[in-house]
Amino acid sequence: MSGSDTQQAKVKAYLYSLPGKRGIDIPEAQFDALHAAASGETLPVWGRHPTPEQMQYLHDNELHHPAKVKELYGNLQHPDVPGVKVSEYPAWEQAYSVVKDHGKPS
């Protein structure tokens, strides 16, 4: 076995050790629907697709409906604003822009 074969075997073993695999841990149709719903929430906020662990969590907790996925991610802390949930961020951002543009009320 050459060095590249050994490296490929290590990468393959690592990938198979991750949870949330399409067609293995999660049926393909459910994975596709979950991934689309979760990506719609994670991409705008965190700039990435959901992690394998998040995908497995969604599947294990039967959060297969897009509204449930949105609710789950909406209850998480926003990464850029301490003390604000993801679901609260649009209202916070609007209020912040008003204060920034017009100053604090007296």
C-alpha closest to that of 50 among 37, 36, 34, 39: 39
Instruction: Provide the residue range defining the domain that includes 100.
Output: 77-106
6: Cα within 13 Å, side-chain hemisphere: 3
What's the domain count of the chain? 2
Q: Domain check: are 50 and 90 in the same one?
A: no
Q: Domain check: are 27 and 70 in the same one?
A: yes
Note whether residue 25 is domain-resident: yes
Q: What is the pLDDT of residue 105?
A: 61
Q: Domain check: are 52 and 91 in the same one?
A: no
The pLDDT tens digits of the residues spanning 26-68 come to 999 999 999 999 999 999 999 999 999 999 999 999 998 999 9
pLDDT category at 104 given cuts 50, 70, 90 is low
Chain-centre distance for alpha carbon 23? 19
Task: Indicate whether this model's pTM tops 0.95.
Answer: no
pLDDT category at 1 given cuts 50, 70, 90 is low
Note whether residue 3 is domain-resident: no
